[in-house]
Amino acid sequence: METAILEKKDILQKLQQLRSEFNKFGVKRIGLFGSFVRNSQTPNSDIDILVEFDQGKKSFDNFMQLSFVLDEALPYPVELVTKESLSPYLAPKILHEVEYVTNSD
């Protein structure tokens, strides 16, 4: 495991570096939300990541493989979610604060 990533910019940079890996799983775009975006993380924080898949690429296998890659690459536990899985009560807040790293040039 790498040294601890402590700031939002470090996580976004790591996500950017993993773009080619994300292609294998049909990731359309991926973004960071939660405590790291708000700069309110603690040593017990997890990394909240929202993923959107390309049409026809959203599957349990792709989701789990992506989750494994993120868990290996990042020094905090990862909470990976899709837009469809968001609570209707929390979705507006999350979608407002998410900072995406696009997976296409």
> The domain spanning residue 65 has which CATH number?
3.30.460.10
pLDDT band at 43 (very low <50, low <70, confident <90, very high): confident
In single-letter form, the type of residue at position 105 comes to: D
Identify whether 32 is part of a domain.
Answer: yes
- The domain tally of the chain equals 1
The model's pLDDT over 76-87, given as tens digits with 9 standing for 90+, comes to 999 999 999 999
pTM of the model: 0.89
**Does residue 102 carry a pLDDT above 80?**
no
β-strand partners of 49: 32, 80
Tell me the average pLDDT across 39-64.
Answer: 94
* Whether 29 contacts 101, CB under 8 Å: yes
d(CA 16, CA 74): 13
User: What is the residue range of 58's domain?
Assistant: 8-102
Distance, C-alpha 2 to centroid of its chain: 17
The residues with which 47 forms a beta bridge, in sequence order, are 78
3 within some domain: no
In the block, tokens 């049409």 appear at: 55
Alpha carbons 63 and 95: distance in angstroms, whole number:
19
Task: Answer whether residue 2 is part of any domain.
Answer: no
pLDDT tens per residue across span 13-29: 999 999 999 999 999 99
Let me know if residue 1 belongs to a domain: no
